[in-house]
Structure 1
Amino acid sequence: MTSSDTETNTSESTETTKDDTVAEKIADAVTVATTSDVATTTVEEEDPQTVVFSLVGFFLAYIPLVGVIVNAIAVVKAGKEGFDLFLAKWGLVLAILSTVGALILVGLGFWIGLEAGRSGM
């Protein structure tokens, strides 16, 4: 064998080793990427009871005290389970506003009744 034949064989085996190394690195990268995609796309399902509390609470938000209680339960359950329920929070806000509004109307009616009683005597 001549020295040029030896150099050619050596360079071919080096290229094959480099190709195998690159292929292994690519395979490892694909495996890591696939594993990380699976981990990030896992979605927890919401508890049906929490969703039901949110919906019922949202619909009962205009019944002053009942709406506050049911929505408070829904928000607490969602917080404990790690869910972010937009509907439960809005239901609680609406229930608090309707309760405050009802108390204002009752107070206003009481005040008007007292004024009417005083002026009638």
Structure 2
Amino acid sequence: MTSPETETNTAETTESKSDEVAETLADAVTEATQSEVATVDAVEEEDPQTVVFSLVGFFLAYIPLVGVIVNAIAVVKAGKEGFDLFLAKWGLVLSILSTVGALLLVGLGFWLGVEAGRSGM
């Protein structure tokens, strides 16, 4: 059999361990709640002007130079404000590709026009 002192020590040890576990759990819950609140605050602080620039730039991506300019502004504004707007980056990529494509078509048209002029003489 166990002595009354051993039973008392065991009960005190169990209570102190459960208190430590409860405190650790409470700290973890507090930290998780604070990080969620910080995340929500960061999302709510997003500048509407940056979002508008991103959307307009994405839709104007196929107008060669205008799309590049508007999307470049959107990417710079998003970078300065700490937002990661993939829409602005995709709009910039699409507008650069459309500008390069338009320049290639103009160059091809010019070259074909010059060749047609040489053979027509």
TM-score range, shorter chain: 0.7 to 0.9
Residue ranges of structure 1 left out of the alignment (5+ in a row): 1-6
Larger radius of gyration: 1
Q: What amino acid sits opposite 2:93 in the alignment?
A: V
| CA deviation map 1:13-51 (0-9, x unaligned) | 323422331232022111221122124333221322221
Q: In the alignment, what sits opposite 1:31?
A: 26
- Supply the distance in 1 between the matched residues of 2:28 and 2:91 (Cα, whole angstroms): 41
Give the TM-score normalised by structure 2.
0.81
Moved over 6 A (4+): none
Q: CA RMSD in A?
A: 2.0
Shift of 1:12: 4.3
Q: Equivalences for 1:83-94 in 2 at 5 Å?
A: 83-94=83-94
- Supply the distance in 2 between the matched residues of 1:103 and 1:27 (Cα, whole angstroms): 67
Shift of 1:70: 0.9
Q: In the alignment, what sits opposite 1:3?
A: none
Shift of 1:75: 1.3
Q: What amino acid sits opposite 2:25 in the alignment?
A: V
Q: In the alignment, what sits opposite 1:22?
A: 17
Residue ranges of structure 2 left out of the alignment (5+ in a row): none
